């Protein structure tokens, strides 16, 4: 998914969509970053058959979820400061996992590609944007952050 280009006024549908997309990407980066830091198999290409690679990946995901399951193991496995988070002024504070995997890791920043998205992708993005402002897709704190 691509964000809407440009700068949008607070509370607009495009601003809310871009914020929610950015937030979900940050969550995925945090989880995968922690998996890389803990399970070093993810730091480079995995030299296994795809089916075996899928088993290894799912096993690591299950272990991650198991370790995050209760307060005691969560405090040891992912203590405060492990994940990226947003401070009160909406600045992103990087989590400890980024230092663990270091600057020379296999996680590359996405490079912007200047091109117009296909019509089908634009329609899907607009549907997500509409969903995010609907009663079913909204969150209580949405208007204060978007």
Q: Tokens in use for 1? A: 């998914």
**pLDDT by residue (tens digit) across 37-85?**
889 898 888 999 999 999 999 999 999 999 999 999 999 998 988 988 8
Look at residues 94, 39, 96 and name the one whose alpha carbon lies nearest to residue 66.
Answer: 39
Mean of pLDDT values over 33-37: 89
**pLDDT by residue (tens digit) across 90-124?**
788 888 888 877 665 555 666 777 778 888 999 99
**Contact (Cβ atoms closer than 8 angstroms) between residue 85 and residue 93:** yes
β-bridge mates for residue 86, sequence order: 92
Tell me how far the alpha carbon of residue 21 is from its chain's centroid.
9
Look at residues 30, 36, 57, 32 and name the one whose alpha carbon lies nearest to residue 105.
Answer: 36
Prediction pTM value:
0.69
Q: Is 146 helix (H, G, I), strand (E, B) or coil?
A: coil
């Amino acid at each position: 998914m691509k964000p809407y280009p440009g700068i949008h006024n607070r509370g607009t549908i495009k601003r809310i969509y871009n914020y929610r997309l950015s937030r979900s990407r940050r969550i995925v980066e945090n989880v995968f970053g922690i998996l890389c830091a803990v399970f070093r198999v993810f730091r480079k290409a995995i030299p296994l058959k795809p089916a075996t690679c899928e088993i290894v990946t799912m096993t690591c995901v299950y272990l991650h979820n198991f370790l995050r399951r209760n307060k005691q193991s969560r405090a040891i496995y992912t203590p405060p400061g492990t994940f990226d988070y947003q401070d009160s002024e909406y600045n992103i504070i990087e989590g400890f996992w980024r230092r663990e995997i270091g600057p020379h890791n296999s996680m590359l920043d996405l490079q912007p590609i200047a091109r117009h998205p296909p019509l089908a992708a634009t329609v899907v993005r607009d549907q997500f944007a509409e969903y995010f402002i609907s009663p079913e897709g909204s969150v209580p704190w949405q208007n204060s952050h978007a």
